[in-house]
Amino acid sequence: MVAFVWAVTGMIPLNIALYKIALQHSSIEEGHTSNERLEFLGDAVLSLAVAEYLFKKYPLKGEGFLTDIRSRLVNRDALNELARKIHLDKVLRYDPSLLKKIGGKSIYGNALEALIGAVYLDQGYERCCRFVIDRLIGNYVSLKNLIENDTNFKSRIIQWAHKNHVQVVFKILLEKQYDYYKEFTAQALIGDKIIGEGTGRTKKCAEQMAAQQALQQTEQEANGRPID
C-alpha cells in the first residue's frame, strides 16, 4: 500500500490507514469501514481544485466554458478512466459477487475520489491540489484535446434529431439514494423507442451519458447497421 501511494501521489503517506479505507469498497464489510465518507470529501476537494486551476489558467474565459471543462474533467467516465490509468483498479478491494447486485459502473472513479479525500486529510489542501493538477491532470489529461472535442452529447443528438425531423425526449428513469450521494438513470427516446441510457450523479450528467449512447446508436444506423 505504501509503495502504491508513493508511486501515484509522489508523497510518503503519513497516515496509511486513510489510504486503506479509501481503497476498500462498501461491498467489503470489514470492520464496517468503507470509502464512502472519503469519497464524499474527495468529490468536494476535487471539484474545488479543478475549478481553481481552470479559473487561473483561463482568465479570459467565461463561466460557461469553465463549468463545461470542469464537468468533462470530473464526470464518472473521466474519473473511471483516470483511475484505471493509475492502476487503482488493481488495488481496490471489493466483493465482485455483491457488486453485481448493487451495480459497479462507477466504483473505480468513486475510489479515486476517496483517494483524493485521503490525500487531503493526510497531506493538506495545497499538496492535495498538486497531486490532482500535476500528477493526475498533468500526466494523464490533454486539456487541448478536451477543449477541441465537443462532448455536449445532448446538444449533438438534438441537432441530429432536428436534421432528421424527429424528436428526442429525455426522461429520468430511476433515482437511487446512497449514503452520501444520489445516482440518476436517464433514457433518450424517439417516440416509445429507447435509443440511449446512462447514469450519473446529477440528472444532467445522466442525460449526457444517455445522449452519448444514442449518438453511438445513430452512427451504427448511418453505417448500415440497424439499431438494436
- CATH number of the domain encompassing residue 14: 1.10.1520.10
Indicate which residue of 36, 113, 122, 207 is catalytic.
113
- What is the domain count for the chain? 2
CB 199 within 8 A of CB 183: yes
| Domain ranges, residue 183 | 153-222
Task: Give 214 or 182, the one with higher predicted confidence.
Answer: 214
pLDDT on residue 25: 87
C-alpha cell at 187: 433514457
Residues 180 and 141 in one domain: no
Residues 60 and 73 in one domain: yes
Q: Which of 148, 174, 204 is the last residue of a domain?
A: 148
Would residue 228 count as lying in a domain?
Answer: no
pLDDT on residue 227: 46
The average pLDDT across 169-195 equals: 88
Distance CA 23, CA 17 (A): 10
Residue 43 appears among annotated catalytic residues: yes
Indicate which residue of 36, 43, 122, 207 is catalytic.
43
Would residue 227 count as lying in a domain?
Answer: no
Kindly report, residue by residue over 97-149, the tens digit of the pLDDT: 766 655 556 889 999 999 999 999 999 999 999 999 999 999 999 998 888 77
Kindly report, residue by residue over 57-80, the tens digit of the pLDDT: 999 999 888 887 888 888 888 899
Residues 121 and 28 in one domain: yes
Stretch among 10-14, 20-24, 46-50, 164-168 having the lowest mean pLDDT: 164-168
Residue 10 pLDDT exceeds 60: yes
Task: Give 95 or 206, the one with higher predicted confidence.
Answer: 206
* Residue 176: pLDDT band with limits 50, 70, 90: confident
pLDDT on residue 163: 87
pLDDT on residue 228: 46
Kindly report, residue by residue over 17-36, the tens digit of the pLDDT: 999 999 998 877 665 678 99
